[in-house]
Amino acid sequence: MKFACLLADGFEDVEALASSALLRRAGFTVDFYSVYNQKKVTGAYKTVVTDIQYMKKLNVDNYDGLFIPGGKATFKIRDEQSVKEVAKAFDQKEKWMLALCAAPTVYGLLGLLDGKKYISYPGTENEMGKAIRVDEKAIRDGRYITSRSAGTVYDFVFEIIKAIKGEEALNKFKENIVY
């Protein structure tokens, strides 16, 4: 199972890197893609990612899902036509759609979450179209898994593992990380 993770300067370090590290530990592949096709991307807290590919080379067919972390970068990338096209392409091919913090607004503004349950960072509710906000740390509705904030990274990853690999795999993962 492979996910493409979109990054731009100002991404939320914990959401992108901790989620990716935990997902990799659970046996998933997570590849980083630079939205602006840069050789390195710097997080909101100055973490520099250099193991990155150019989004212009992203082939949706090579992945099982799209992962967008939050942070200040979200408010910029969600207006980029290339990001909108990538999100729509993943959705049209019925791939997993993962996002946390402010990043669910990428899907919400496109109407992809209309009628679906979601959670995102407080204050982003008006940018979610006709999506149904729930008060959870992380929530799955079909192929969409969303989470509230950097403080809910574990809940987010646990929801992904449970949805894709099942409850038994999640319990084993929790044991392995001594959760």
Could you read off the pLDDT of 134-177 as tens digits, one per residue?
Answer: 999 999 999 999 999 999 999 999 999 999 999 999 999 999 99
pTM exceeds cut of 0.85: yes
Average pLDDT over residues 31-51: 98
* Distance from the first to the final alpha carbon of the chain: 23
Average pLDDT over residues 57-85: 97
Q: How many domains does the chain have?
A: 1
Residue 157 belongs to what domain range? 2-176
| Mean pLDDT, rounded, of the chain | 98
Average pLDDT over residues 20-40: 98
Residues 31-57: b if buried by 16+ CB within 10 A, e if exposed: bbbbbbebeebbbbeeeebeebeebee
- Which CATH number characterizes residue 114's domain? 3.40.50.880
Tokens standing for 76?
């910029």
Alpha helices, DSSP H only, in the chain?
Answer: 13, 19-25, 74-77, 81-92, 104-109, 153-165, 167-176
